[in-house]
Amino acid sequence: MLIVIAIGAILTGLAVSAFPNLSKNNHMIGDVNTLVGHVNLARSETIKRNLPTALCQTDDSQAATPDCDGIAANWANGWLVFVDDNGNQTFDAGEFLITRGSPSGSIDIVVSHGEIGFANDGFLATGSTLFNLCDDRGINHGRQMSLSITGRPEISKTFVANTDCTDTSP
What are the structural domains, with CATH classification, of the chain?
2-156 (3.55.40.10)
Chain segment 20-63, per-residue pLDDT in tens: 678 888 888 889 999 999 999 999 999 999 999 999 998 887 88
State the Cα torsion 49-55-56-58 to the nearest 10°: 90
Rg of the chain over all Cα atoms, to the nearest angstrom: 19
User: Considering only 72-76, 115-119, 138-142, 164-168, which range has the smallest mean pLDDT?
Assistant: 164-168
* pTM (predicted TM-score): 0.83
User: Considering only 56-60, 107-111, 155-159, 160-164, which range has the smallest mean pLDDT?
Assistant: 160-164
Q: Would the pLDDT of 169 be above 50?
A: no
Q: How many residues does the chain have?
A: 170
Residue among 35, 37, 39, 80 at smallest CA distance from 57: 80
